[in-house]
Amino acid sequence: MRVTRNLITGGAGFLGSHLTDRLMEAGEEVICLDNYFTGRKSNIAQWIGHPRFELIRHDVTEPIRLEVDRIWHLACPASPVHYQFNPIKTAKTSFLGTLNMLGLARRVGARLLLASTSEVYGDPEVHPQPESYRGCVNTIGIRSCYDEGKRIAETLCFDYQRMHGTEIRVMRIFNTYGPRMLPDDGRVVSNFIVQALTNKPITLYGGGGQTRSFCYVDDLIQGMILLMNSNESGPINIGNPGEFSIKQLAEKVRALINPELKFINLPLPQDDPLQRQPDIALANQRLNWSPKISLDQGLPPTLEWFKSIV
């Protein structure tokens, strides 16, 4: 029986490397594509030289010709620090990168999974957010390059499905954390842990009353694989519906590392959503998926990872 050939764009990144691990452990072939803007070769170093693994340095804004069965399209900086560093490049990555991968999928008859985002909902007026909610997004703000980039990426996927019969799977990813996060990515989990490990005050924006839902990376990857293997086009929310205020998260991190640390308050950044919680009824019904790892269970292994690199 022929082994499935997988192409993972952004395969050396946080999510891409965990997906690589799962597919390699399942005996499949993996081609990892990354330009190393936020990906790191160390994340996939254990597979370099393996006969079923191939690593290609490539930017998805440029076309590439490969023979593959499945395309896991994860390439795009996903944290505000990184996607705002070069917002035009971020928009190009979402649009041109997705266009190129859909073109490849059409040519070779591959199935494509798009890693979309909860940011397509913007600063939501509906809570929690179901897939039917169309969002409240600022088209001209500092986060728009990412939010609108992912929205047009979803549009392209469904237009390719309608026009060319391309097999697509669209996954809306909510806040995810775990080992291999970058220490300087500006996300709240990494920010708080790094600040606490270096004995700095923990920074709360806008008092920390805004809410987020935190999904451990192992749960997220399981949901991603179930969606790819299903007959569902999506979009489907994948995230942990447990809702915490940013201050509650800060208190959990402080309790794990140094209960004496102080909090400092700064103004809320532009367009920072006040609430974020996935409605995962669809994932539960169609994929039989729900997260298994709580925030209290997922923070300790994440903390150990940061201890090893900070």
Looking at residue 41, its pLDDT comes to 96
Q: Is residue 264 classed exposed, middle or buried when 0-12, 13-18 and 19+ CB atoms within 10 A define those classes?
A: exposed
Q: What is the pLDDT of residue 82?
A: 79
Helices 295-309 and 188-197 meet at what angle, rounded to 10? Answer: 60
DSSP string, the chain: -PPPEEEEETTTSHHHHHHHHHHHHTT-EEEEEE-SSS--GGGGGGGTT-TTEEEEE--TTS------SEEEE--S--SHHHHTTSHHHHHHIIIIIHHHHHHHHHHHT-EEEEEEEGGGGBS-SSSSB-TT---B--TTSTTHHHHHHHHHHHHHHHHHHHHH---EEEEEE--EE-TT--TTS--HHHHHHHHHHTTPPEEEEGGG--EEE-EEHHHHHHHHHHHHHSS----EEES---EEEHHHHHHHHHHHH-TTPPEEEEPPPTT--S---B--HHHHHHH-------HHHHHHHHHHHHHHH-
Residue 191 or 82, more confident: 191
Mean pLDDT of the chain: 95
Q: What is the mean pLDDT of residues 137-143?
A: 92
The stretch 92-117 carries a mean pLDDT of: 98
What is the tens place of the pLDDT at every residue in 242-277?
Answer: 999 999 999 999 999 999 999 998 887 776 778 889
Least Cα distance to 69 among 43, 94, 104, 96 occurs for 104
Backbone angles phi, psi at 2, to 5 degrees: -70, 140
Task: State pLDDT tens for residues 8-43.
Answer: 999 999 999 999 999 999 999 999 999 999 999 999
Q: Is the pLDDT of residue 46 over 80?
A: yes
Question: Residue 271: its pLDDT value, please?
Answer: 66
pLDDT at 289 over 70: yes
Mean pLDDT (whole number) for 104-129 = 95
pTM reported for the whole predicted model: 0.95
pLDDT value at 111 more than 70: yes
Point out the residues that are catalytic.
Answer: 146
Q: Let me know: does 121 contact 212? Beta carbons within 8 Å.
A: no
pLDDT tier at 310 (50, 70, 90 boundaries)? confident
Task: Report the distance separating Cα 91 and Cα 281, nearest Å.
Answer: 30
CATH assignment of 5-178+215-241+278-292? 3.40.50.720
